[in-house]
A = this chain, B = another copy of it.
Amino acid sequence: MTNIVDHSTVGLHGRATTAQPGTFHVYDTTLRDGAQQESMRLTVADKLRIAGYLDELGVGWIEGGWPGANPNDTAFFAAAADELNLKNATLVAFGATRRAGVRAAEDPQVQALVDSLASTVCLVAKSHRGHVERALRTTGEENLAMISDTVSFLVDQGRRVFLDCEHFFDGYRLDPDYALEVVRTASRAGAEVVVLCDTNGGMLPSWVHEIVSEVAKLEVPLGVHCHNDTGCAVANTLAAVDAGAIHVQGTINGYGERTGNADLIPVIANLELKYGWELLPEGRLAEATRISNAIAAVTNVVGSPRQPYVGASAFAHKAGLHASAIRIDPNLYQHIDPAVVGNGMRTLVSDMAGRANIQLKGSELGFDLSDRELAATVTDVVKEREARGYSYEAADASFELLLTEYVGERPAEAFTVDHWRIHSGADHTGRTVNEATVKLTANDETHLVVGEGNGPVNALDQALRRGLSMAYPRIADFELVDYKVRILDSTHGTDAITRVMIDTSDGERTWTTVGVGSNIIDASWEALVDSFRYGLLRA
């Protein structure tokens, strides 16, 4: 049986092999340019953790921040020198060329780069004549001197130097001679790589290819730094590589100002899986999904489920047509094996789906749904519940409880709840108080218990644990590790339907349950009870 999907790793283009993987730079700027992302705030501890993940992924260069420009970044470089033990990557300090009219050695901002102890420095410089004159308010000549002096000074201090040409592409279109002179000047002064930046992100791949091809005639090692304002950041990066760039800059999860920077993982995955290059140490690409998620957990800016390669939906199939074909061969409907990037194929349980999806999902969970009538009944129940706001696509544990009810032998319920109550308010000092009472029966014993928490749901969780702990001591191992709230119809303000998803762990595995209600407490209570019920069922 031949595999009909072409997984060939050889590029269609001869030109795709012009760069040599051995000397190719994968350069991450999540900690510097990525941190410009709206609503992202990174502490020194966050930055150290992210740098560790980037090193695990196997990038060559980690741009850590701008020491001297803000105290947080200065503190990061100090902490990194003490604590960060990078195995693959080199830490890079970002900074600017000297100010106009001062010597590089006397510019405190340049001195801060030396003080950062980073072995490599990436300097940003103007390469757009209009920006030199209007934003920097100096002459084109002085700007070239600023570049030349600062690069030479840092090289004399024993640093490797890269130079980011801000607004290069716009600048080239306005005045190509000046833009090219910036590249020549930086290289002559000792910059190892000159990075062409599409700072405003307005370029298209064909334009980038044409301009980089021209600049490449200078025979200076070139890099590329793209933003996603036209939706083409990944493609623009590839276009520059096709035209000869040997250094790509990007961020994890495409973090960055406005529409974000080039998403580094798709850039790497395209070059490795489509061009057949080896950029990361062996086996590291398979860590991409885990590392993307881990970094999102630190930044608290969740990636899109639709992110290429690593998104939760990237290999998820919903269409009935596809689900049927996937039963023949999963490769009929996926462009790569998701395992190579550490992701997995998922079949979505959903009201778009026919019986085929439900049967496939059921068999993943070990239930026999080959009986067509039974499968149709379960499909109807799922459709009816999803219409009310439930979502089983992610809540595998709730879906399994539903299957247990309809398909498996229905086990005796671990416990039944008689009633619950919540009391929240402020005490006489103004401190908030939340109490929950729960009356439940487990192992034929009835308990009326009370719990206190820092919120109503936490109080319910505490009361439920207390009520169940006598009958089921192992409940002490269950921990709520994630809690998500979604307001389903947000046009009615606080009247809306609320969906809560809870992830619970027993230290070995994690499961997800869903609850729906007219308010967050009802919905949370349902997801909470299902979470304990599922944990006790599987234990």
A residues touching B (Cβ–Cβ < 8 Å)?
2, 4-6, 8, 11-13, 15-16, 35-36, 38-39, 41, 128, 130-131, 133-135, 170, 173-174, 199-202, 204-207, 210, 228-236, 238-239, 242, 254, 257-260, 263, 266-267, 269-270, 274, 297, 300, 304-309, 311, 313-319, 322, 325, 328-329, 332-336, 348, 350-352, 386-387, 391, 393, 419-426, 432, 434, 453-458, 461, 479-485, 487-491, 493-496, 498, 502-504, 517-522, 524
**Complex contacts, A35 vs chain B, CB 8 Å:** 352
Give chain B nearest CB distance to A227 CB in angstroms: 9
Bound CA span A393–B352, Å: 37
**CB-contact partner of A206 in B238, B266, B453, under 8 A:** B238
Binding site secondary structure of chain A: mixed
**Complex contacts, A432 vs chain B, CB 8 Å:** 517-519, 521-522
**Complex contacts, A305 vs chain B, CB 8 Å:** 38
- Contacts A170-B6, A313-B258 given; does A242 touch B518 at CB 8 Å: no
Bound CA span A304–B301, Å: 11
Q: Nearest B residue to A428 by beta-carbon distance?
A: B419
- Contact yes or no, B481 A202, CB < 8 A: no
- Contact yes or no, A318 B38, CB < 8 A: yes
**Complex contacts, A455 vs chain B, CB 8 Å:** 494, 498, 517-522
- Contact yes or no, B335 A201, CB < 8 A: yes
**Complex contacts, A329 vs chain B, CB 8 Å:** 134
Number of copies of this chain in the oligomer?
A: 2
**Complex contacts, A266 vs chain B, CB 8 Å:** 230-231
- Contact yes or no, B494 A308, CB < 8 A: no
**Complex contacts, A453 vs chain B, CB 8 Å:** 494-495, 519
- Contact yes or no, B131 A332, CB < 8 A: yes
**Complex contacts, A2 vs chain B, CB 8 Å:** 130
Q: Nearest B residue to A458 by beta-carbon distance?
A: B494
- Contact yes or no, B494 A210, CB < 8 A: no
- Contact yes or no, A483 B494, CB < 8 A: yes
Bound CA span A518–B242, Å: 51
